[in-house]
Amino acid sequence: MRGFVLVLFASIPLFGGSADISVTCDGVSVVGSGTASCSFGDFWTTGASAQASLTGMSVSAMAWAIQPEWGVDAGSSSATASLTWDFILTVTGGYGDGYAEPELSVGANSYGGVGWGDASASLGGCWMNASGGTPPGGCSPTSVAFVFGVPQTLTLFESADASAGYFYGVPAVGGAASMSDFEFFNAYGQPLSGFTYTFVPADQPSATPEPDTLALAAMACAFLIAFERRRRSRYRKVARPAR
């Protein structure tokens, strides 16, 4: 059984190209220019949620299918979130060539083969993926080559997927990806110091207030804790199959 569908979005995109922020919950898609989020269901039934934020340079998706009682189909749910945006990187305070290592983070979890999360992120020559509970790889210190004082356009891509359900009951599963910073090195691989840099969107979205990224993260943690507590409580009570 499906609950309500809640859709929140900042604005419709004002430009094409590689700029795109989108989320999908239970087949309902939303596209935004600065942020997009969606959710359906509630804490104790089947549901899903997803968010993507340009300001936070992050995406996340969660899905759950709480079994109402032993032997009753919990249904299924799914969510996706993606962010593809061009950024301009400019490094100053030096001469010649250098390299940058993006600080990308991805993570995902799974549950017993009936709940699955996935997350990916890429920038320059770095690509990372986490599927289920598989640890992601890392970025190379030479992922992004640059020349001091010369702006260059880089495309940041992030995606997260979550799916849960069918009969057995699944607590919250999902994936998340984010970009936080860079590590910088000179042409010889030595860490740089005394430099400055900017990393700004090539296309600025319309000035519309966005949801607080930290608040969204706190909500996600609350979901995970609530679902896990309910799952443990329910299965402690079910010590034998229903007659």
Provide the token pair at 112. 């017993």
Number of residues written out for the chain: 243
CA distance 9 to 11: 6
237 against 38, higher pLDDT: 38
Could you tell me whether strands 35-40 and 47-53 are parallel, antiparallel, or unpaired per DSSP bridges? antiparallel
pLDDT one-digit tens code per residue, 10-63: 333 333 345 689 999 988 888 887 899 999 887 678 899 999 999 999 999 999
Q: How confident is the model at residue 79 (pLDDT cuts 50, 70, 90)?
A: very high
Q: Quote the pTM value.
A: 0.77
Provide the token pair at 156. 């940041």
Among 94-103, 108-117, 129-138, the minimum mean pLDDT is found in: 129-138
CA distance 15 to 8: 20
Place of tokens 């042409």: 187
Q: Per-residue pLDDT for 131 more than 50?
A: yes
Longest dimension (CA), the chain: 77
CA distance 27 to 152: 36
* Number of alpha carbons in the 13 Å side-chain half-sphere of residue 242: 5
pLDDT one-digit tens code per residue, 135-172: 677 889 999 999 999 999 999 999 999 999 876 688 89
CA distance 24 to 89: 30
CA distance 81 to 51: 6
CA distance 33 to 51: 13
